[in-house]
Structure formats: structure tokens, C-alpha cells
Chains A and B, each alone.
Chain A
Amino acid sequence: MAFTLPSLPFSKSALEPIISAETLEFHYGKHHQAYVNNLNGLVDGKPEANRTLEDLIMSAEGGVFNNAAQVWNHSFYWNCLKPGGGGRPSGALAAAIDRDFGSFDAFKEEFSAAAAKLFGSGWAWLVLADDKLKIVQTSNADLPMKHMQTALLTIDVWEHAYYIDYRNARPKYIEAVFDNLLNWEFAEQNLARA
């Protein structure tokens, strides 16, 4: 069975003006789709074609890993965004952020800096590792599950994620997404399931 592109959890224009419909046309419609297509091309006719995405991510290297991980990363990223998002987490996640970062503001500063400073293409993540919240950066397709961490929230900082809307101004993209689009309910669910 072939891997498929999941549907976006919102319409392509729903994140305007923070993330434009044009960006999503390319980011979801071209980049995410290409990772799915490339993965299917690489595993076609091989035993890997019948494994789960997570299975491939944990066991594969090279092109299969890159494309499988990017399929997973982007599906996860779309769920980390929602129109009218932003604000603050509540409940157990809010308490854990206070416990492990001191305050929500301190968390925001550290998370934003990690996303801004990742050199080249990659991702910034809020993860659960050994029962503690941590902020980590990954390069290219790399992702927390490969390091035995549970992803709670991410932001894509490949240039394709923001170049149409923000050009080189990556920090502006990060701040706008953080303040207006982050889906904290999704992060809370990820923590509850972990």
C-alpha cells in the first residue's frame, strides 16, 4: 500500500496573513507531496512498502529516511498550527513548562532562539525526554523519535516554510507563528498520550 498525503487540517487560506495560501500551495501541495511521492518511488516493490511510516523512520537511512521523516514532520507541523491559535497552553503542559523553563515567557524566548539559530534547514521542537520538557533543534529531516524523544510541538525553519512571506526574516516568521498560530491543544494531547 502506498503512502499518502494526509489532508490539511484547515483550508489553504486559513492561516492568512501569517502564512499565505501561496506558501501552503507550495509547502503542502509541492514539498510535502514530493516527500510522499519520493518515498513511494523508493520503496515501490520492496518489503519496505508494507511497513509503517514510523517503522521506516526508525530503521531506514539515506533517501528513505529523509523522505519518510519529512512526510511525518510535515503532517505533524500542520497539526501544530491552527487559525486563531497562539495564546498559552493550560493544564499539565502549562505546569510542566513552568517547572522546566521557569515561565512561559522564558520558554518562548528559548524556543524562538532555537528556531532562529538552527543553521541551514531544519526544525525546532518542544519534546518530552526522560519525563522532562526540552527544546531541541534537528537538521534537515531529523526528528525527535529517532532520539527516543516524544515530539510535542514543532516549527519548520526550512527556508521554504517562510521565504515567500518573510524572505530572509526568519525571526519574524517564528514570532508571528508563535503568537498567532500555535495549536496548544495539540501539544497538550501529545503530552497526555506520552
Chain B
Amino acid sequence: MAFTLPELPYACDALEPYIDARTMEIHHSKHHAGYVAKLNAALEGVKGFDGKSVEDILRNIDAVPEAKRQAVINHGGGHANHSLFWQLMGPGKGGDPSRALAGAIDSELGGFATFKEKFADAAANRFGSGWAWLTRNGSGRLQILSTANQDSPLMDGHVPILGLDVWEHAYYLKYQNKRPEYIEAWWNVVDWAKANELYRAANG
């Protein structure tokens, strides 16, 4: 079965004024759709991947034939990363992390203010296209990192808890060269309940 583009869990203009409707529309219907189409093209005719989730494929990326691997890293990563990104935002969100995740940010990352600063630095300093992440790493601890292009933390045994797209397409229409302003605005739409849910599931 081919991968399909998930619907946005809210209207394109729901994240205004922090993320504008035009950006959301193009980001979802062109960029994300492009990753889905190219992932399907990459896996066309390759045996053994029917019915597997894109996350499972990325977790076990070495099982993808070498000739197709980079395309699956790029476009499978693009599909997984964006699918998660939409879910981690919402209208009327923002504020502080909740419950188990809030406690872990305090005990493992020095508190919410320190976390926010380090995460924003990771996002601002990623040179070129990529993502900033809060993950639960292979040792079970929270970690802040950034990845290039569409590289998914799943490939390195991390579980993403929070992800921020810092490709220029994510912010250029509204913020142009001012990536730090986009990062600052983004905190207003973060869905911490969803992040907490991902954290609890990761600790399963």
C-alpha cells in the first residue's frame, strides 16, 4: 500500500499569526505531498516493505536496498518528520510542558527556560536545511539535537518528542532571513500535551 498525505489536524490559518496560512498550505500540500510521492516512487517495486510504517522503515534503514536508501532517508524522513510536526502544533497552544515531560525537562535538562534556550540555539545554528529536536535517546534520556535536511532521529535510535522544521520553506514567506523570530514565535503553537504523550509512549 502506498503512503498517503495525512490531513492537517487544523485549518491552514489556525496557527496565525505565528505561522501564516499561505505557508501552511504550501508546506503541507506541496512540500509534504512531494515527500510522500517521492517516497512511494522510491519504494515502488521494492519487496518487503508493504504495510510497514515509515517510522519502522526509518528505524531499520539499513534494510532498505542501498540504491534506494538515500531516497528513503530523504523522502521517508520528510514524510515522517512533517507528519509529526503538524501534530505537535495547534491553535491556542503554547505555554509550558506538562506532567511527566515537564518533570524530565527539569531533572534532565536543567529546567524549561534552559531547555528553551538550548533548543532555540540548536534550531538557529543548524546551517542550511534541517530540524531541531527534543528526543528520548537510546539511553532513555532527553536530548536536544539537530539534524540536516530530512534526516530522522529514528535512524539513530532516538524517539522524537518535539521537532521544529528550520528549512527556509517553513518560514520564508513570513520571516524571510529572520529564522530566530520564527523560532521565538513557534513556542506559541507547541502542543505540549502531544509532546507529553509521545514522551510517555517512548518510555512505554
Contact = CB atoms under 8 A, between A and B. Distances in A.
Nearest to B149: A120
Interface string A86-99: 00000000000000
Contacts of B150: 119-120
A145 to B, nearest CB: 19
A140 B177 contact: no
A121 B177 contact: no
Interface in A58-95: 66
Interface in B161-184: 167-169, 172-173, 176-177
Contact of A122 (B128, B167, B169, B177): B128
Interface in A90-144: 119-122, 139-141
A131 B156 CA distance: 42
B4 interface: no
Contacts of A159: 129, 167-169, 172
A77 B74 CA distance: 27
A2 B128 CA distance: 25
B194 interface: no
A168 B35 CA distance: 12
A51 interface: no
A10 interface: no
A167 B30 CA distance: 10
A134 B106 CA distance: 53
A15 B132 CA distance: 35
Contacts of B172: 159-160, 163-164
Given A163-B172, A168-B26, A34 B31 contact: no
A193 B172 CA distance: 38
A167 B29 CA distance: 12
A173 to B, nearest CB: 13
Nearest to A23: B176
Closest 4 CB pairs of A and B: A159-B168, A140-B128, A121-B128, A120-B149
Interface of B: 26, 30-31, 34, 74, 127-130, 148-150, 167-169, 172-173, 176-177
